[in-house]
């Protein structure tokens, strides 16, 4: 697992109070991990803080699963 | 119209001297101080470095971690005490009319810690506003009553009163009014506060309102003592289930006492200083006695606001002499803030509970930390100094006064008295 993927998992475990084993690439924040709309906003914000980037709203809307978050951040973080 | 009678059927307490009603009462009667060095932040640069903090509370025993982190401590405290009160009242949430069950809560400030943390985060950043989406719902004072309604499904009247240190008593009087008007069958009322934070201590320090007796925190809250030098900030919560008498009787509920009157007034004088002759304090106690329809001579115990400030204690004592005349020297007075510190918007709740337990046990809890008499106070007044006193307590009155000049009093009477 990449360093980014691990950090993403840690944030999700911390914020949503779920077990790390549940945080699979396919897991949806809202359908599988119990997040509501505010939780999702908070997650995006935590990703922005952790990776020091700004995720535009139209792109944030496409980040609904753990895998989508990892892919987006691997492509955009640290640039 | 005829008012319905309103009784108390459940209690919950989270205080610096006990995390439930029974421990709270044991320590009140024993004269235990809840003060100690501040542990919640580094207070070494503050004029006051001690407070009455809640101790040994594991919030996650009551609220799962992922929910608790979306609540400010003052709202977590509200849930802890409301759970105890709902259980104590033996309420069956399946069988009561939830549309006639309300929550009227009090908090002087609301989510102060949340506000501080979020603003600090922003200030540390580069100006990009990464404000947490839970910031507003955690901070706003009414989140407490909202969360309680969600927890128990109470769909009736729901809001939070904000009148500084009178907040919880204002909430109680409002709940009392809705129930006696027949609009509610029962309500969770009371208040919570969690202001032992940098802004809380620093802000009250700036007003020179707090005791600065850093070498002896446990003797710092000394209401009516000559050397009192300000109040000691406390935190915590108290919950009271008020219920329409016939409703309580029909379900066979245990009844602590009847709430027979509520008084409200304003000093219309100064934003922080009390009226020097206690004008607002006089009128609020009179108003409560009128509302209760009892003579002043019926009152056995007054749990005073008595915060241990130089001015406030004097004007309240004068007011008691004015309102009660010779009877002022026969009743017992005590300030339980000498033990709990000042819980601000929650003070009225935990002090009402002190009154109710005093009635239950026919024991007046003391005003601890009395060392030196002050000639400002008439020596005929019985402040219940240092040790609890046994006496029949059939009727008890609780005073609360808040910055802004808000004064609220409530009077409880034993059901069979």
Quick: pLDDT tens for B212-242. 999 999 999 999 999 999 999 999 999 999 9
**pLDDT tens by residue, B149-167:** 999 999 999 999 999 999 9
**Which pair of structure tokens corresponds to residue B204?**
């009250």
Confidence of residue B129 (pLDDT cuts 50, 70, 90): confident
Chain B residues within an 8 Å CB radius of A34: 66
| Mean local confidence (pLDDT), B395-417 | 95
The span from the CA of B107 to the CA of A61, in Å, is: 37
| Mean local confidence (pLDDT), B36-43 | 98
Judge: B66–A49 Cβ closer than 8 Å, yes or no. Answer: no
Task: Report chain B's mean pLDDT, rounded to a whole number.
Answer: 97
Judge: B64–A49 Cβ closer than 8 Å, yes or no. Answer: no
Percent over 90 (pLDDT), chain B: 96
Question: Does any CB of chain A come closer than 8 Å to the CB of residue B133?
Answer: yes
In this prediction, residue A78 carries a pLDDT of 75
Backbone Cα Rg of chain B: 20
How far is C-alpha B369 from the geometric centre of its chain's CA atoms?
A: 20
Is 70 exceeded by the pLDDT of residue B248? yes
**Which pair of structure tokens corresponds to residue B37?**
């060095």
Question: Does any CB of chain A come closer than 8 Å to the CB of residue B130?
Answer: yes
Are the CB atoms for B191 and B345 separated by under 8 Å? yes
**Which pair of structure tokens corresponds to residue B191?**
């208040």
Judge: A49–B130 Cβ closer than 8 Å, yes or no. Answer: yes
Is 90 exceeded by the pLDDT of residue B263? yes
Length of chain A: 79
In this prediction, residue B128 carries a pLDDT of 85
Angle between helices A3-16 and A37-51 (to 10 degrees): 140
Which residue is closest to B121 within chain A, CA to CA?
A: A49
Chain B residues within an 8 Å CB radius of A49: 130
Question: Is this complex's ipTM strictly greater than 0.85?
Answer: no
Give chain B's domains with CATH numbers: 7-251 (3.40.47.10), 262-414 (3.40.47.10)
**pLDDT tens by residue, B64-98:** 988 999 999 999 999 999 999 999 999 999 999 99
| Mean local confidence (pLDDT), B130-137 | 94
Chain A residues within an 8 Å CB radius of B63: none
Is 70 exceeded by the pLDDT of residue A79? no
Long-range Cβ contacts of B403-406 (<8 Å, 24+ apart): B403/B164, B403/B165, B403/B271, B403/B272, B404/B163, B404/B164, B404/B266, B404/B271, B405/B266, B405/B267, B405/B268, B405/B269, B405/B270, B405/B271, B405/B275, B405/B280, B406/B163, B406/B164, B406/B166, B406/B170, B406/B264, B406/B266
| Mean local confidence (pLDDT), B33-61 | 98
A58 given a catalytic annotation: no
Tally the C-alpha atoms within 13 A of residue B23's C-alpha that lie toward its C-beta: 15
| Mean local confidence (pLDDT), B93-110 | 98
| Mean local confidence (pLDDT), B350-377 | 98
Give chain A's domains with CATH numbers: 1-74 (1.10.1200.10)
Q: Work out the minimum CA distance from B127 to partner chain A, whole angstroms.
A: 13
- For an interface test with B, the pick among A11, A12, A16, A17 (most B C-beta atoms closer than 10 Å) comes out as A17
Is 80 exceeded by the pLDDT of residue B195? yes
């Amino acid at each position: 697992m990449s360093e980014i993927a691990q950090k993403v998992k840690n944030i999700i475990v911390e914020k949503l109070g779920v077990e790390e084993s549940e945080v699979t690439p396919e897991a949806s924040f809202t359908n599988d991990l119990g997040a509501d709309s505010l939780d999702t906003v908070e997650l995006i914000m935590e990703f922005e803080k952790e990776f020091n980037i700004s995720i535009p709203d139209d792109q944030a809307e496409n980040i609904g699963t753990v895998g989508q978050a990892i892919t987006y951040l691997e492509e955009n973080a640290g640039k | 119209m005829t008012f319905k009678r309103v009784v108390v059927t459940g209690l919950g307490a989270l205080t610096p001297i006990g995390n439930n009603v029974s421990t709270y009462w044991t320590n009140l009667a024993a004269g235990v101080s809840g003060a100690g060095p501040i542990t919640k932040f580094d207070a070494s640069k503050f004029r006051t470095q001690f407070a009455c903090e809640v101790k040994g509370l594991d919030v996650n025993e009551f609220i799962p971690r992922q929910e608790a982190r979306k609540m400010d401590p003052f709202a977590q405290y509200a849930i802890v005490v409301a759970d105890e009160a709902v259980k104590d009242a033996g309420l069956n949430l399946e069988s009561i009319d939830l549309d006639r069950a309300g929550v009227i809560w009090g908090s002087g400030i609301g989510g102060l810690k949340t506000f501080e943390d979020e603003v600090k985060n922003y200030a540390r950043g580069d100006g990009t506003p990464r404000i947490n989406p839970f910031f507003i719902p955690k901070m706003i004072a009414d989140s407490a009553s909202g969360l309680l309604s969600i927890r128990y499904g109470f769909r009736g009247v729901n809001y939070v009163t904000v009148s500084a240190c009178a907040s919880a008593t204002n909430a109680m009087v409002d709940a009392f009014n809705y129930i006696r008007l027949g609009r509610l069958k029962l309500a969770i009322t009371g208040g919570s506060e969690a202001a032992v934070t940098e802004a809380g201590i620093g802000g009250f320090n700036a007003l020179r309102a707090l005791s600065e007796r850093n070498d002896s925190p446990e003797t710092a809250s000394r209401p009516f003592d000559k050397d009192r030098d300000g109040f000691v900030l406390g935190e915590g919560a108290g919950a009271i289930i008020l219920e329409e008498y016939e409703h309580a009787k029909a379900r066979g509920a245990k009844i602590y006492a009847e709430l027979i009157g509520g008084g409200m007034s304003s000093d219309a004088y100064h934003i922080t200083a009390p009226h020097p002759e206690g004008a607002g304090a006089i009128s609020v106690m009179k108003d409560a006695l009128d509302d209760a329809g009892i003579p002043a001579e019926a009152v056995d115990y007054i749990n005073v606001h008595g915060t241990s400030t130089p001015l406030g204690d004097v004007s309240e004592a004068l007011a008691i002499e004015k309102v009660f005349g010779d009877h002022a020297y026969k009743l017992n007075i005590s300030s339980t803030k000498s033990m709990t510190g000042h819980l601000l918007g929650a003070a009225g709740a935990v002090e009402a509970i002190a009154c109710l337990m005093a009635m239950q046990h026919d024991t007046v809890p003391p005003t601890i930390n009395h060392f030196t008499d002050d000639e400002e106070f008439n020596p005929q007044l019985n402040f219940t100094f240092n040790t609890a006193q046994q006496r029949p307590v059939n009727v008890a009155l609780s005073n609360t006064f808040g910055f802004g000049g808000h004064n609220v009093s409530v009077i409880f009477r034993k059901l069979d008295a």
